[in-house]
């Protein structure tokens, strides 16, 4: 008889832990009762044990489908050194090696077998799996099954078919850290999981403080921040290899203990840097988003995004690598409106499906809104991931912002009515140009000089008005159209401002300089 008590013994015996974390127990008991289960936990929440412990309790070999080759090896190594028999099959091993591992699996050598999803493209591979008693299939990074997620893998769509072909009617567990309500629904329907069998644990990370820093020289900010926290481990994410090199060189030149990681470096080099970082021999890692998947380092005190991440999913996953040990840690986005263009460009270059492009651009917009909201950043994140009704955290950059909010309703009305007069067919820049009375030729060509709102805000710069428009977008007064040209329109909330049913309050803008040295 399998009970949670035995699961507890396994937890202690193999992993050395005394108690389960929130959500683990429920997931494990669900699996052991034979229910297909979706397990949604933030990064670092402890998802792996949710299938590893059942794997040790069930007869046969648990099949783990994972898209991350480097993670597979790490996990298998860790399991092996805990005395658990596990192996993996993916493109990093030779055909002979794969054959041998399958032969061993067939005779029951392994309690866990990790495979890459692409293997499921091969019917002969599935036929071989049919010879192995498989009581449980674990689908890691399950959001990859959804076209609406941020990392769709077509091979994931084969999983359901695999299940119908395996003779032992295995239980299925799907795990992910990044499921919005829509993606969650997709996971359940595609894999045939009853939605009631979803275990979801709080996404709030009470030890993380989020903040967005604007209008700063970013290299100066980073240098100063790292210098002040030189004894702590941190990650600095940059959007491109070139930017990684830039930041790295700067810190290196200042004699800091820094490493770098991106896909343009040899795998030997990357592995070496990663190990040094894990062993606290390098304190700061400058990296692209290629770094960090499956990295188990608990004492990361800060994660800085040198550039705007492409969406909230990636952001929370990367930022969430800070503070896994539960100690207070900081997550900072260094925001510059210029990054929007880079991210848009990357999306347009890499996403060819039109519908999907629009999706990605919308996700980017929500990321931009995060940078402009004046509400609690933790609340923004939780609402994004579908957790309603959370209280302001009291820790983030916005909660601790003591600037006074001023009434900017009149300015908001100027912007909104200008948009309407322009037919709601233009973007931020054009609206800002009309309001500041720009002499740009386009203005004359389109006849905007004749609008009553032309030059209405000429006491401000076009940049200031643009930022104000960003603020109105992030607070939901203005909607941004999808597609490659972001046209602005007035939302219902915006209409209430125009009809004087609602006031708009904004914190005074002051330069955030506290962490930057004066001598630069
Ligand atoms: P996830 O896959 O959700 O990102 P992991 O499974 O990698 O998270 O677990 C994150 C860390 O938490 C690991 O170091 C793991 O050993 C640890 N951990 C997991 N479960 C427990 C537990 N019940 N008690 C203490 N530590 C745990
Ligand atoms: Zn807050």
- Residue 258 Cα to ligand 1 middle (Å): 27
> Rounded to whole angstroms, how far apart are CA atoms 340 and 310?
9
- pLDDT tens string 113-126: 999 999 999 999 99
The pLDDT value given to residue 514? 37
Structural Rg of the chain based on CA atoms: 26
Between residues 64 and 386, which one has the greater pLDDT? 64
Q: What is the SS3 assignment for 419?
A: helix
Mutate to test the pocket of ligand 1, among 12, 16, 39, 48 (most ligand atoms within 8 A of CB): 48
Which ligand 1 atom lies nearest to the CA of residue 21?
23
The pLDDT > 70 percentage for the chain reads 95
Mutate to test the pocket of ligand 1, among 49, 174, 176, 320 (most ligand atoms within 8 A of CB): 49
Residue nearest to atom 25 of ligand 1 (CA): 17
- Closest by CA to 68, choosing from 264, 295, 278, is 295
- pLDDT tens string 315-333: 998 998 999 888 999 999 9
Q: Which ligand is located closest to the Cα atom of residue 177?
A: 1
The pLDDT value given to residue 1? 45
Q: Which ligand is located closest to the Cα atom of residue 375?
A: 2
Global pTM reads 0.65
Alpha-carbon torsion (508, 465, 503, 377), positive or negative = negative
Contact call for residues 317 and 178 (beta carbons, < 8 A): yes
The pLDDT value given to residue 233? 96
- Residue 400 Cα to ligand 2 middle (Å): 7
Residue 352: partners with Cβ closer than 8 Å, 6 or more residues away: none
The pLDDT confidence band at residue 482, using thresholds 50, 70 and 90, is low
Residue nearest to atom 23 of ligand 1 (CA): 20
Number of other CB atoms surrounding residue 231 within 10 Å: 9
What are 61's two structure tokens? 């070999």
Residue 186: partners with Cβ closer than 8 Å, 6 or more residues away: 145, 146, 147, 148, 149
> Rounded to whole angstroms, how far apart are CA atoms 346 and 337?
15
Q: Which ligand is located closest to the Cα atom of residue 377?
A: 2
Helix ranges, 254-392 (H): 267-278, 312-319, 338-350, 354-372, 377-384
Between residues 220 and 516, which one has the greater pLDDT? 220
The pLDDT value given to residue 161? 87
User: How far is CA 488 from its chain centroid?
Assistant: 26
The pLDDT value given to residue 517? 38
> Rounded to whole angstroms, how far apart are CA atoms 314 and 177?
10
Burial class (CB in 10 A: 0-12, 13-18, 19+), 104: middle
Q: Which residues are registered as beta bridge partners of 213?
A: 334
Task: List phi, psi (to 5°) of 116.
Answer: -80, 145
Contact call for residues 192 and 158 (beta carbons, < 8 A): no
What are 100's two structure tokens? 């041998």
The pLDDT value given to residue 329? 96
331: left (phi over 0), alpha (psi -120 to 50) or beta: beta
- Residue 397 Cα to ligand 2 middle (Å): 7
The pLDDT value given to residue 427? 92
Least confident of 81-90, 99-108, 311-320: 311-320
Q: Which ligand is located closest to the Cα atom of residue 380?
A: 2
Q: What is the SS3 assignment for 304?
A: strand
Pocket around ligand 1 at a 6 A CB cut-off: 17, 20-21, 24, 41, 43-49, 296
Which ligand 1 atom lies nearest to the CA of residue 18?
24
The pLDDT confidence band at residue 290, using thresholds 50, 70 and 90, is confident
- pLDDT tens string 54-89: 999 999 999 999 998 888 998 999 999 999 999 999
Q: Which ligand is located closest to the Cα atom of residue 211?
A: 2
Burial class (CB in 10 A: 0-12, 13-18, 19+), 336: middle
Helix ranges, 58-115 (H): 69-81, 95-106
- pLDDT tens string 184-220: 899 999 999 999 899 988 778 889 999 999 867 889 8
- Residue 42 Cα to ligand 2 middle (Å): 18
pLDDT at 515 over 50: no
Least confident of 58-67, 139-148, 430-439, 504-513: 504-513
The pLDDT value given to residue 3? 59
Mutate to test the pocket of ligand 1, among 46, 84, 202, 295 (most ligand atoms within 8 A of CB): 46
Half-sphere exposure for 392 (CA within 13 Å, toward CB) = 11
- Residue 402 Cα to ligand 2 middle (Å): 12
- pLDDT tens string 468-478: 998 898 788 99
Contact call for residues 23 and 45 (beta carbons, < 8 A): yes
CA distances (Å), origin 437, targets 67, 426, 459, 506? 53, 16, 10, 24
> Rounded to whole angstroms, how far apart are CA atoms 505 and 520?
34
Burial class (CB in 10 A: 0-12, 13-18, 19+), 5: exposed
- Closest by CA to 234, choosing from 318, 323, 324, 303, is 303
- Mean pLDDT along residues 6-11: 90
- Residue 362 Cα to ligand 2 middle (Å): 24
Contact call for residues 343 and 364 (beta carbons, < 8 A): yes
- Residue 306 Cα to ligand 1 middle (Å): 28
């Amino acid at each position: 008889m399998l009970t949670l008590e035995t699961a507890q013994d396994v937890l202690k015996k193999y992993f050395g832990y005394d108690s389960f974390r929130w959500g683990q127990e429920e997931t494990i008991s669900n699996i052991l009762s034979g229910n297909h289960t979706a397990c949604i936990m933030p990064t670092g929440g402890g998802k792996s044990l949710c299938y590893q412990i059942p794997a040790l309790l069930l007869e046969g070999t648990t099949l783990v489908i994972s898209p991350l080759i480097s993670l597979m090896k790490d996990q298998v190594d860790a399991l092996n050194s805990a005395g658990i028999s596990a192996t993996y099959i993916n493109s990093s091993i030779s055909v002979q090696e794969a054959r041998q591992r399958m032969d061993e699996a067939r005779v029951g050598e392994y309690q866990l077998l990790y495979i890459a999803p692409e293997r499921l493209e091969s019917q002969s591979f599935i036929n071989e799996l049919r010879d192995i008693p498989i009581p449980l299939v674990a689908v890691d990074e399950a959001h990859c099954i959804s076209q609406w997620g941020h990392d769709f893998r077509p091979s994931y769509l084969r999983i359901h078919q695999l299940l119908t072909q395996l003779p032992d009617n295995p239980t299925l567990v799907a795990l992910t850290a990044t499921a919005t309500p829509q993606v969650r629904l997709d996971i359940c329907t595609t894999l045939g999981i009853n939605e009631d069998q979803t275990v979801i644990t709080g996404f709030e990370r009470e030890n993380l403080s989020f903040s967005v820093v604007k209008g700063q020289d970013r290299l100066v900010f980073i240098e100063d921040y790292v210098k002040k926290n030189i004894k702590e481990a941190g990650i600095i994410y940059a959007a491109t290899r070139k930017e990684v090199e830039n930041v790295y060189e700067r810190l290196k030149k200042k004699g800091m203990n820094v490493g770098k990681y991106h896909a343009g470096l040899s795998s030997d080099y990357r592995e070496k840097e990663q190990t040094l970082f894990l062993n606290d021999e390098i304190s700061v890692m400058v990296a692209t988003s290629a770094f960090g998947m499956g990295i188990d380092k608990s004492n990361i005190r800060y994660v800085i995004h040198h550039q705007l991440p492409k969406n909230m999913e990636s952001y929370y996953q990367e930022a969430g690598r800070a503070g896994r040990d539960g100690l207070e840690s900081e997550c900072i986005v260094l925001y510059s409106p210029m990054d929007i263009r880079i991210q848009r460009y990357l999306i347009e270059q890499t996403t060819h499906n039109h519908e999907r492009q629009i999706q990605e651009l919308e996700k980017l917009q929500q990321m931009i809104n995060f940078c402009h909201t004046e509400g609690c950043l933790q609340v923004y994140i939780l609402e994004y991931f579908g957790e309603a009704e959370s209280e302001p955290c009291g820790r983030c950059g916005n909660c601790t912002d003591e600037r006074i909010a001023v009434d900017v309703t009149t300015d908001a009305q100027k912007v909104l009515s200008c948009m309407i007069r322009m037919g709601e067919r233009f973007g931020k820049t054009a609206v800002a140009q009309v309001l500041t009375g720009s002499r740009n030729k386009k203005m004359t060509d389109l006849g905007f000089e004749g609008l009553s709102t032309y030059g209405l805000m000429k006491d401000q710069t076009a940049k200031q008005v643009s930022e104000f428009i960003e603020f109105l977008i992030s607070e939901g007064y203005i909607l941004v159209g999808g597609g490659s040209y972001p046209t602005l329109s007035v939302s219902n909330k915006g209409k209430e401002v125009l009809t004087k049913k609602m006031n708009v309050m904004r914190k005074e803008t002051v330069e955030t300089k506290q962490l930057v040295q004066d001598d630069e």
